[in-house]
Amino acid sequence: MTNEPVNRLELRGVTKAFPGVIANDTVSFAVKPGEIHALLGENGAGKSTLVKMIYGIMQPDSGEILLNDQVQYIPNPKAARGMGVGMVFQHFSLFEAMTVLENIALGLDDNISHAELERRIADVLHEYGLSLDPHRIVSTLSVGERQRIEIVRALLLNPRLLIMDEPTSVLTPQEVGQLFETLRALSKSGCSILYISHKLHEIQELCEAATILRGGKVVGECDPKKESSRSMAEMMIGASLKSVEKDGGRKFGDAKFVVTSLTLPGEGDFGVPLNDISFTVRAGEIFGIAGVAGNGQNELLLALSGEVTSDTGDAVMLDGEPIGAHGTTPRRFVGLCAVPEERNGHGAVPDFTLCDNAILTARNRKNMVNYGVINSSIAMGYTEDVIEKFSVKTTGPTSTAGSLSGGNLQKYIMGREIMQTPEVLVVSQPTWGVDAGAAAAIHQALVDLAEGGSAIVVISQDLDELLAICDHMAVINEGRLSKTHNVGEVSIDEIGLLMGGVHGDPFATAEMTEAVHAH
């Protein structure tokens, strides 16, 4: 191409400090036109701060940002978009009371009619194979569906540099394949992509170059196609990565957690009704539930944790006791702990301290309350134990939950529940947004808990996670659960097809499996 710049994006010595922490320390790297370039680093490495500066949300204290070989001052995101920079955020900037269409319109700088916008959205959805109803109210959407809004909004602007922060955490393997095809097509047209993901096998498959950050500094660059997931993870954490150690020959105990014909209406206009859900988890077993966001996972977690109760008590049984009609507190009394998908506001109260957040869920199992009076020294001690054991980066138990990064808050909430050694633990997205080292530590803690005799249910969109730690798994689609599969005997293609909605019809499944193998 004529007049093509040498670099689409270049950073020269970019530094950004906040009180008590240098987020980015003289960071320099470049992204060429049409290059798909990974930005790798563990939680707190400085990736988010860096891309916020490229997108004009904050300004560097020193250093230069060049776009198309020109030094640029990027005062705000509107200016960034005007310079051809688009961004898909991990944490969504959406108005919950408005529709998908209204939210996308707010994110565009041009004034176009709703009819024209709807036509353009339909084109992007079709091209990317994504499903999204433009007229749905955002508050009724799952986390995954909300992320699709951000992706569509960015692509409508035809960017020359597209920044993507964890874009595939909500897609089936087949949809990830489609997205990658589109990203490759975008890159062929000259659009550069700066890609942040904790899924290192995706980085290997998609990206042509990678810059690795640790502690705010660039510590290396590599060609992901010449590295293993493990070697990249070890570059990120600066240490060797522990593999999850699982006792392959362990025996399961009796049925501990039994769900039978659990059927519940969906919440509100757009909630997914649960239809005849049945499964059994034995003592010592990890049972996985895969699925694309918005297929009833949130409703299932609420029904299992007791936030939504069933008319029939024996729809949910723990150690032979019917608990389906019990709320959350009586379920916690008999040993059921839960971690919801949404950590900020549901898993933790952002304005409460970590210690107060521990009291909210661990007060009974950890004997923090005597005759109605909170024993603050026990609560503080427990919180400190969680922070230490799960390597939570924070100034201490009196920090507010909202002051932690997303990955550190996730580590804290997981630790707070796991360290109660529950009889049954139900978790949704256990490693959402945490880096490879922390994910391995959480996986090991779940495996250790199961080996101690707990029954664990893991609801996740990350197939690799489920295949790594689960003994058996099923797939949820439109509020129905597939039959249970032995993890050692199931293929990723089969699970992906079930996630996409092919189950119940053996002929359809066979045909589609053949179609997949034909590719």
Q: What is the CATH number of the domain that holds 477?
A: 3.40.50.300
Q: What is the pLDDT of residue 516?
A: 40
Is 426 within 8 Å of 338 (Cβ atoms)? yes
Q: How far apart are the first and last CA of the chain?
A: 33
> What does the pLDDT read at residue 2?
54
In a domain, 402, yes or no: no
Give the model's confidence band at 245: pLDDT under 50 very low, under 70 low, under 90 confident, else very high: confident
Which positions ≥6 away from 38 have C-beta within 8 Å? 195, 196, 197, 203, 206, 207, 209, 210, 211, 224
Contact 159, 85 (CB under 8 A): yes
Question: Is a pLDDT exceeding 90 seen at residue 492?
Answer: no
pLDDT in tens, 56-87: 999 999 999 999 999 999 999 999 999 999 99
Q: Is residue 396 part of a domain?
A: no
Average pLDDT over residues 115-130: 86
What burial class does residue 372 get, using C-beta atoms within 10 Å of its C-beta: 0-12 exposed, 13-18 middle, 19+ buried?
exposed
- The pLDDT assigned to 45 comes to 85
In contact, 286 and 301? CB cutoff 8 Å: no
Residue 478 tokens read as 């439109």
In a domain, 180, yes or no: yes
Q: CA–CA separation, 483 vs 485, rounded Å?
A: 7
Which of 139-148, 349-358, 460-469 has the weakest average pLDDT?
A: 139-148
Selected residue with higher pLDDT from 422 and 106 = 422
Q: Specify if 126 maps to a domain.
A: yes
Residues 429 and 312 in one domain: yes
Residue 376: inside a domain: no
Which of 237, 268, 292 is the C-terminal boundary of a domain?
A: 237
For 497-508, b/e burial (b = at least 16 CB within 10 A) is bbbbbbbeeeee
The string of DSSP codes covering 89-151 is -SS----TTSBHHHHHHHT-SS---HHHHHHHHHHHHHHHT----TTSBGGGS-HHHHHHHHH
Cα separation of 261 and 239, whole Å? 47
Structural domain includes residue 33: yes
Average pLDDT over residues 286-301: 91
Same domain, 103 and 46: yes
**Is-contact 317 256, C-beta < 8 A?**
no
Residues 230 and 133 in one domain: yes
Domain boundary (203, 237, 271) is at 237
- What integer pLDDT is reported at residue 153 of this predicted model? 87
Same domain, 204 and 284: no
User: Which is more confidently placed, 242 or 370?
Assistant: 370
Mean pLDDT of 156-173: 82
In a domain, 247, yes or no: no
Structural domain boundaries, residue 115: 9-237
Compute the mean pLDDT over every residue in the chain, rounded to the nearest whole number.
88
In Å, what is the CA distance from 381 to each residue of 325, 355, 360, 371?
34, 9, 15, 20
Kindly provide the b/e burial profile for residues 39-52, where b requires at least 16 CB atoms within 10 angstroms of the residue's own CB: bbbbbbbbbbbbbb
pLDDT at 128 over 80: no
Residue 177 sits in the same domain as residue 230: yes
Q: Among the three residues 202, 237, 272, which one is the final residue of a domain in this structure?
A: 237
Selection from 108, 518, 126 nearest residue 510 by Cα = 518
CB atoms within 10 A of CB 186: 19
Instruction: Report pLDDT for 165.
Output: 84
Closest residue by Cα to residue 407 from 382, 376, 430: 430
Considering 230-234, 242-246, 455-459, the range whose residues carry the highest mean pLDDT is 455-459
Rounded Cα distance between 212 and 227, Å, is 13
- Stretch 374-396: mean pLDDT, rounded? 95
Is pLDDT of 503 > 60?
no
Would you place residue 519 in the very low, low, confident or very high pLDDT band (cuts 50, 70, 90)? very low
Q: Do 305 and 228 belong together in one domain?
A: no
Sheet of 274-282, strand order: 274-282, 255-264, 316-318, 321-322
Checking if the pLDDT of 218 tops 90, the result is yes
pLDDT for the residue 511: 39
Q: Say whether pLDDT at 181 is over 80.
A: yes
Is 185 found in the same domain as 96? yes
Which token pair is 164?
């993507």
Tokens of 296: 């009833």
Q: Is residue 401 part of a domain?
A: no
Q: DSSP secondary structure string, 444-466? A: HHHHHHHHTT-EEEEEES-HHHH
Residue linked to tokens 């916008």: 117
> Do 196 and 121 share a structural domain?
yes
Percentage with pLDDT > 70 across the chain = 93
User: What per-residue confidence (pLDDT) applies to 143?
Assistant: 64
Residues in the chain: 519
Q: What is the DSSP letter of 399?
A: S
Between CA 142 and CA 293 the distance in angstroms is: 6
For residues 178 and 307, state if they share a domain: no
* Choice between 287 and 404, residue whose per-residue pLDDT is larger: 287
pTM (predicted TM-score): 0.74
Q: How far apart are CA 433 and CA 61, in angstroms?
A: 27
Q: Between residues 129 and 398, which one has the greater pLDDT?
A: 398
pLDDT interval class at 509 (50, 70, 90): very low
Return d(Cα 362, Cα 506) in angstroms, integer: 45
Pair (15, 80) in one structural domain: yes
Q: How far apart are CA 207 and CA 110, in angstroms?
A: 32
pLDDT tens-digit map of 5-52:
999 999 999 999 988 789 999 999 999 999 999 999 887 788 989 999
Q: Is the pLDDT of residue 514 over 60?
A: no
507, pLDDT greater than 80: no
Q: Is pLDDT larger for residue 170 or for residue 376?
A: 376
pLDDT at residue number 239: 80
pLDDT interval class at 90 (50, 70, 90): low
- 222 & 259 share domain: no
CA distance 295 to 23: 37
Tokens of 321: 């006791």
| Domain match, 269 and 179 both | no
pLDDT at 33: 96
Q: How far is 500 from 294, CA to CA, in rounded Å? A: 12
Please provide residue 493's backbone torsions phi and psi, each rounded to the nearest 5 degrees: -60, -45
CB 289 within 8 A of CB 296: no
Task: Give me the number of domains the chain comprises.
Answer: 2
